């Protein structure tokens, strides 16, 4: 795994050596500082039985030659080193050159668009899977959607025409690396026309030539819930998650149809109170985006508000928290309209503990060939690269994942 000396990377390494033994898995800790890597390795070998040693590999994230030497020694690279716009591209290129599968935590849609345009065809030709957004961005939304769609197709003979993703509740923190990536995204959008267009086009992660459709994109104002009672507010994660879900549909050859629509929102309840909370969230999010689009304000927020990349909670704190993401889908079968529901959640901090587990199990699925995907290579998404087996892996480690008819309550 790449980035073991950071907070997210350390949590990933901790999870893997806790969950698996050295007879089940070979883990190498990667980064640029050999002394710090050795210190991290010693911590884990002291803490866990069955790990007499953890090898380390050293490279420079900006130097592709050193990265090639690293990735040629492994089958799957899990990377937590962001911002990916700055540090991600050479590693992707090195993995494709070496035929090594790859997964990351990126939410930088401008960078995902770049890797799609530059490397998808090469990754297909190399039978190499480059899988983006394998953490809280965007496993719950992407995996929940494919579970809901598969259930709808199997039960009603038709996929859902529309899916709405709800950030239903959560208690946790956001990493310095995630916020740094957020800052990179807005800086790129303010200076780069392609990045700006990526954020404006709901289909910007679709294959070239297919970047248009019926979906208007993320919600920007308070609205009544179109699939249920109450009010909804815009979701800060919608610009990433919605585009990842649409890319999954495209990569899988549109099993949900080309008219499929997807929106992610924050539910705020019903009545005047629900409307007021939705308005407050929408106004706050709009103001934050405006501030992040202005150079001086963005620099100030980065310096004085955001934690530095690599900063984060203790291991114990990262195990606290919880999240629930609900996915409602509506479609029309032979017997009329139906509504299905999927839920993805865990009693653990979403931005750290749960994200480390989602990335770790994504990497394990790629390593073990535990996927139901028809795709052998390309710049992929969790749903298109791994699919339902990822849900089984996450259930096995305590995630709460269900799918069923919404009217009857979700069922496994």
* Beta carbons within 8 Å of 150's beta carbon, 6+ residues apart: 388, 403
Helices (H), 161-215: 176-191, 193-200
Q: What tokens does 233 get? A: 């507010």
Residue 221: its pLDDT value, please?
95
Q: Residue 380, Cα to own-chain centre: how many angstroms? A: 11
**Residue 408, pLDDT above cutoff 60:** no
Label residue 236 left, alpha or beta by phi (over 0 means left) and psi (-120 to 50 means alpha): alpha
**168 DSSP assignment:** E
Q: What is the pTM of this model?
A: 0.94
**Residue 411, pLDDT above cutoff 50:** no
pLDDT tens track for 286-316: 887 777 777 787 778 667 666 666 566 666 6
Task: Identify whether the C-beta of residue 177 lies closer than 8 Å to the C-beta of residue 6.
Answer: yes
Residue 174: its pLDDT value, please?
62
> In the chain, what percentage of residues exceed pLDDT 90?
69
393 CB neighbour count, 10 Å cutoff: 20
Q: Is residue 214 part of a domain?
A: yes
| Rounded average pLDDT over 235-241 | 92
pLDDT tens track for 69-99: 899 989 999 999 988 988 999 999 999 999 9
Work out how many domains the chain is built from and give that number: 1
Grade residue 412 by pLDDT with cuts at 50, 70 and 90. Answer: very low
Q: Is residue 36 part of a domain?
A: no
296 CB neighbour count, 10 Å cutoff: 8
**Residue 407, pLDDT above cutoff 80:** no
Could you give the angle at the alpha carbon of 181 between the alpha carbons of 293 and 349, nearest 5°?
120
Q: Is residue 46 part of a domain?
A: no
Task: Identify whether the C-beta of residue 315 lies closer than 8 Å to the C-beta of residue 12.
Answer: no
Residues, the chain, total?
Answer: 412
SS3 call for 251: helix
| Rounded average pLDDT over 146-164 | 97
412 CB neighbour count, 10 Å cutoff: 8
Q: Is residue 178 part of a domain?
A: yes
Residue 182: its pLDDT value, please?
67
CA distances from 320 to 44, 140, 283, 347 (A): 21, 18, 29, 7
277 or 297: whose pLDDT is higher?
Answer: 277
Q: Is residue 21 part of a domain?
A: no
Q: Which of 53-67, 161-175, 178-192 has the lowest mean pLDDT?
A: 178-192
Q: Is residue 81 part of a domain?
A: no
* pLDDT, mean over the chain: 90
How many whole angstroms separate alpha carbon 148 and alpha carbon 352?
Answer: 26
Host domain of residue 263: 139-348+400-405
Residue 179: its pLDDT value, please?
66
Q: Is residue 114 part of a domain?
A: no
CB burial of 20-53 (b: ≥16 within 10 Å; e: otherwise) equals bebeebebbbbbbeeeebeebbeebbeebeebee
Residue 373: its pLDDT value, please?
96
Q: Is residue 24 part of a domain?
A: no
Partners of residue 77 on adjacent β-strands: 102
Residue 7: its pLDDT value, please?
87
Grade residue 410 by pLDDT with cuts at 50, 70 and 90. Answer: very low
């Amino acid at each position: 795994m790449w980035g073991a000396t950071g907070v997210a990377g350390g949590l990933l390494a901790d999870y893997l050596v806790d969950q698996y033994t050295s007879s089940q898995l070979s883990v190498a800790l990667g980064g640029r500082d050999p002394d710090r890597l050795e210190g991290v390795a010693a911590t884990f070998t002291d803490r866990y039985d069955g790990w007499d040693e953890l090898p380390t590999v050293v490279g420079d994230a900006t130097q592709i030659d050193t990265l090639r030497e690293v990735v040629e020694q492994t089958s799957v690279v899990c990377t937590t080193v962001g911002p990916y716009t700055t540090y991600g591209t050479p590693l992707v290129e090195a993995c494709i050159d070496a035929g090594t599968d790859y997964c990351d935590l990126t939410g930088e849609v401008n960078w995902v668009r770049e890797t799609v345009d530059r490397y998808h065809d090469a990754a297909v030709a190399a039978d190499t899977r480059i899988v983006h957004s394998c953490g809280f961005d965007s496993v719950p939304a992407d995996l929940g959607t494919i579970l809901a769609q598969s259930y709808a197709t199997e039960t009603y003979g038709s996929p859902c025409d529309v899916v709405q993703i709800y950030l239903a509740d959560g208690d946790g923190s956001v990493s310095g690396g995630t916020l740094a990536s957020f800052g990179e995204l807005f800086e790129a959008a303010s200076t780069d026309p392609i990045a700006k267009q990526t954020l404006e086009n709901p289909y910007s992660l679709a294959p070239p030539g297919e970047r248009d459709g019926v979906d208007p994109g993320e919600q920007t104002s308070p609205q009544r819930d179109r699939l249920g009672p109450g009010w909804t507010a815009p979701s800060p994660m919608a610009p990433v998650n919605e585009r990842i879900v649409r890319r999954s549909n495209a990569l899988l050859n549109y099993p949900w149809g080309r008219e499929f629509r997807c929106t992610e929102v924050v539910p705020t309840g019903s009545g005047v109170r629900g409307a007021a909370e939705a308005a407050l969230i929408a106004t706050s999010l709009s103001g934050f985006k405006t501030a992040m689009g202005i150079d001086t304000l963005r620099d100030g927020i980065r310096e004085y508000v955001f934690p530095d990349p690599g900063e984060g909670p203790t291991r114990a704190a990262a195990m606290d928290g919880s999240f629930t993401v609900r996915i409602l889908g509506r479609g029309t079968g032979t017997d009329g309209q139906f509504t299905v529901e999927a839920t993805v959640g865990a009693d653990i901090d979403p931005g750290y503990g749960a994200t480390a587990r989602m990335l770790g199990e994504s990497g394990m699925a790629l390593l073990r060939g535990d996927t139901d995907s028809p795709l052998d290579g390309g710049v992929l998404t969790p749903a298109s690269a791994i699919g339902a087996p990822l849900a089984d892996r996450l259930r096995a480690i305590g995630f709460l994942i269900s799918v069923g008819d919404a009217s009857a309550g979700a069922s496994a």
